[in-house]
Structure 1
Amino acid sequence: MKMKELLLFLSCVLCVSADPLHSDIGIVGCSASDGEDMYGLDGEELAYADFNKQKEIYPQPPFIDPMNCPGCYDTAVADQQTCRENMKRCGKGMKDYPPEQDAPSAVMIYTRDEVEFGVQNTLICHVAGFYPAPVNVSWTKNGQKVTGSSINTPYLNKDGSFRQTSRLDFTPQLGDVYSCAVQHLALAEPLAKIYEVDSSAHSDPGIGPSVFCGVGLTLGLVGVAVGTFFLIKGNECS
């Protein structure tokens, strides 16, 4: 019996140790006018080829150990040539099949940090669940188009759809209204989300602790009163 239990325990240990520690992904894609070559690890984008700047980009923050891949951009360029040749052949063989198009299933707009008036922050427009890639994201401030935003390369989800994130640096001022408009092949018109800077966005750092201490003091006094009541009752009964 002990031997069976030991074998069962060892089997469980072996099963647990066989689980993968990390998952990576590599994407090579192309169209007649655009292309993508990206590598990711554990859901994070580590490197991608920027065919406009003609170099490999490493978008991770500088405080981590940066990835370096000499020759990766040249490989990405060669992969694009192969991809376009394959696309021509597949296009001839599947010309009677309508292309699949899925509109974004979620568009969210939010700030990177807690909002403080007059302090620079970043607005984030996250788009998920669309196919094919990419989407186009444009920004407005008080109804006027603004420039200077950035957008990452499309990232593949497990279900075959994509997600993409656009960022816009801004300085919050009371009453300002920002919006991000998402354009995609499956959308008849842009899908817009609005972010309004109002008085509720600014929080006084002293309010939270004061309220917390006030509630704590009230509960403490109630506890003392209840304890005193039962102590008196106990003495009367004895």
Structure 2
Amino acid sequence: MKMKELLLFLSCVLSVSADGQHSDIAITGCSDSYGEDVYTLGGEELAYTDFNKKEEIYPQPPFVDPMTYPGEYERAVGRQQICKGNPQKSRKGMKDFPLERDAPSAVMIYTRDEVEFGVQNTLICHVTGFYPAPVNVSWTKNKEKVTGSSINVPYLNKDGTFTQISRLDFTPQLGDVYSCKVEHPALTEPATKFYEVDSSARSDPGVGPSVFCGVGLTLGLVGVAVGTFFLIKGNECS
């Protein structure tokens, strides 16, 4: 991983499955003003430390067996003390190396679920490919700032850049326009993406039923052809 800014990340693969599909990764990161401590499984967050709330957060869905790490907040605080000393040594050894920055390579806005008017949903603003972390994400509704959004802890991509996801709960109403504005030091101006609730957002059967109907029709035609074949052969034998 290339050295950038004063941010030092220590990551270790705790375990890898036999087929290579999943890995547990622990990441500890820090800078002069920022700290991160997170556990991931296959790229998904299992737990992260919120140093503002002074607690360990477990953003796991309710349908899985919960995984917890007792005493992890205290251990994360200790790792931060070690981590914050390392940039000072690196800075001295590299004579305060120049800052490198990567602007986000992609910003996307989409809904968590299929949209139905009047039914609560979640807008997701997905930001990836940036360095250093974090980004700042703000939301508007019909050009007015809105509050109540959330954003996850930045997690490391394989190429050394980061990904962050911001979420905003909303109730779709025809004509509403939402936006997420992304700010990062490498951007000369904020990157803004828009989502408009229009008539096409109404819930419809989607592609799933069409696919099933197409498959059913195909199988039905095959069945008819096979039945006809055996009927003809049976007549020839008689």
TM-score (norm 1): 0.77
| Partner of residue 40, structure 2 | 40
- Report the AA paired with residue 195 of structure 1: Y
> 1:46-81: CA deviations, max 9, x gaps?
010000110101101122111111111101001111
- Report the AA paired with residue 35 of structure 1: G
1:79 partnered with 2:79: yes
* Paired residues for 1:159-174 under 5 Å: 159-174=159-174
Greater share of residues in strand:
2
* Paired residues for 1:119-198 under 5 Å: 119-198=119-198
Instruction: Indicate the SS of the match to 2:102.
Output: coil
| Partner of residue 23, structure 1 | 23
* C-alpha RMSD over aligned residues: 2.7
Q: CA, structure 1 residues 140+21, in 2 after alignment: closer, same or farther (shift >3 Å)?
A: closer
- What is the CA–CA distance in structure 2 between the aligned matches of 1:161 and 1:209, rounded to whole Å? 39
- Report the AA paired with residue 91 of structure 1: R
Q: Following TM superposition, where does structure 1 have runs of at least 4 consecutive aligned residues deviating by more than 3 angstroms?
A: 17-21, 203-206
- What is the CA–CA distance in structure 2 between the aligned matches of 1:18 and 1:195, rounded to whole Å? 42
> 1:177-209: CA deviations, max 9, x gaps?
000001111111110000000011113459x97
- How far 1:20 sits from its partner (Å)? 3.3
- What is the CA–CA distance in structure 1 between the aligned matches of 2:51 and 2:171, rounded to whole Å? 31
1:112 partnered with 2:116: no
- How far 1:96 sits from its partner (Å)? 4.5
Bigger Cα Rg: 1
Higher mean Cα deviation, 86-95 or 155-164? 86-95
- Report the AA paired with residue 31 of structure 1: S
> 1:112-149: CA deviations, max 9, x gaps?
00110010000000001111111111000000110000
Aligned residues: 202
- What is the CA–CA distance in structure 1 between the aligned matches of 2:72 and 2:140, rounded to whole Å? 36
- What is the CA–CA distance in structure 2 between the aligned matches of 1:18 and 1:71, rounded to whole Å? 30
Q: CA, structure 1 residues 203+185, in 2 after alignment: closer, same or farther (shift >3 Å)?
A: same
Gaps of 5+ in 1: 1-16, 221-238
Gaps of 5+ in 2: 1-16, 221-238
Greater share of residues in helix:
1
TM-score (norm 2): 0.77
- How far 1:32 sits from its partner (Å)? 1.7
- What is the CA–CA distance in structure 2 between the aligned matches of 1:74 and 1:209, rounded to whole Å? 51
* Paired residues for 1:212-227 under 5 Å: none
- What is the CA–CA distance in structure 1 between the aligned matches of 2:31 and 2:147, rounded to whole Å? 26
* Paired residues for 1:85-96 under 5 Å: 85-96=85-96
- What is the CA–CA distance in structure 1 between the aligned matches of 2:92 and 2:204, rounded to whole Å? 63
Instruction: Indicate the SS of the match to 1:38.
Output: strand
